[in-house]
A = this chain, B = another copy of it.
Amino acid sequence: MEFATPFEITKDFVQRLERAVEEQDERFIIESLRGVEPADVSLVLEELDSDESKYILMLLDQELAAEILSNLDEDVLLPFVAEFSAKELAGIVQEMESDDAVDLLLEISNQMRDEVIAHINDEEAQNNIIDLLRYDEDTAGGLMAKELIKANYKWNVVQTIEAIRQQAEDVEKIYSIYVVDDFDRLLGRVSLKEMLLAKEQTKVGDIYVPEINTISTDSTQEEVVEVMQHYDLEALPVVNARGRLVGRITIDDVIDVITEAAEDERNLMSGVSDNVEEDDSIWKLSRSRLPWLIIGMGGGMLAAKFIGNFENDLAVIPALAAFIPLITATGGNVGLQSSTLVVQSLANPLAIREPLIVRLLKVFGVAAINGLVLNAIVFGINMGMGLSWNLSMVVCIALYTVVMLSSVLGTLTPMVLEKLGINPAMASGPFITIANDLLGLTVYFTVAHLLLL
């Protein structure tokens, strides 16, 4: 047996492949990729130029090529696909699982897409793709594949096994056999295990399980994830408004959705606007970061303008400037903590939530406690260091107010964003920091002005 620790792609291997492409050494290429899993071949191709990748892919079996193409990173997909004629692409696309085929077709231009579809010979694949293209990408319909195994409830085990034999060629992983009536309406499911253990003449209608989780084509991605994760499902049948079985969502696609959602959240939290990776170009990396930096700078300039109004106060008590970072940093931290907790709650909609008023009271409670602790420490240090009583009081009052206000702001912002249909994780990013900086400074200088001068 082969102990498959993940295939290690070495620079050396990539270089030898490149040389083989240059020398058109077909045998070497085919030999060295034999037995390498499609997901690993994809990784190798991502290291090559598009024309080299195409040369290699065209040497391989179309079904294998289809799997490799399905696994290819989005970043390299577009220039890569541009190397192909519509007809060449159609030959590979019709071998892909229908959901992967549609994902790929959605990346290319409308014109090219129509041409590729027109060139697909396999009528079933063509119909599947045309059908799936109707659904919004972010819905259950956009996630599902058409490939699944279904059996009429009137069939017996022998007939069903024969049907599986015919359908199974297109279906990589079976999971359950879906039982339907004469109008393709979903009735329930039979597992392969039960099929294997049942007597030959048993009717499917007598052994199927009528309880089955389903989801409708227009459910959101998030609902799909929620249902599949909550019930530990590896496949979820999708039905249309009339209860007809139209597709199936598999767990691998759900994992991709979960991973992408986590990445989006991470990007939003850190102020990176695109889906970038470290090995993207300097230009792409700069562009992905500049928007938030410029917005942050705008906040900083507003703060500068604001503090400028207090220049006279600062000239009298320059020590006032010293606590600016303390106020802004604490406000930022408190706001971030609060918003993150709400984002987490929003991502977990199945749990029963306490009423809004209770949630806000708790936010106040936590802020009150934490504000007290922080103030006690800060006041102690300030006194110990011989800071004036008055300035110490100003810092403490401002700090306490900032902790309270930032907590509320951090709690409400993601709720409002969610209502507006914006990813609430946006609130955990530079956004809340900027708002809190300005809020904190306003409180601090207002208190100082009132108490000290």
Contacts and interface: CB of A to CB of B under 8 A. Distances in A.
Contacts of A72: none
Nearest to A234: B234
A403 B188 CA distance: 60
Interface stretch (A109-117, A125-133, A278-286): A278-286
Nearest to A281: B362
B267 A340 contact: yes
Interface residues of A, number: 135
B354 A326 contact: no
B231 A39 contact: yes
B187 A1 contact: yes
Given A227-B6, A286-B370, A340-B270, A325 B193 contact: no
Contacts of A350: 6, 43
A20 interface: no
Contacts of A453: none
A287 to B, nearest CB: 9
A244 to B, nearest CB: 12
A422 interface: no
A328 B368 CA distance: 27
Contacts of A265: 262, 266
Contacts of A325: 299-300, 303-304, 307, 324, 328, 437, 441
A132 to B, nearest CB: 19
A63 interface: no
A212 B4 contact: yes
B329 A321 contact: no
A297 B374 contact: yes
Interface stretch (A22-30, A53-61, A331-339): A331-339
A433 interface: yes
A188 B325 CA distance: 61
B337 A322 contact: no
Contacts of A47: 352
B211 A193 contact: no
Contact of A333 (B11, B304, B430): B430
Interface in A274-296: 276-279, 282-283, 285-286, 289-290, 292-294, 296
Given A285-B366, A328-B328, 5 more contacts: A165-B197, A266-B344, A269-B340, A297-B378, A304-B325
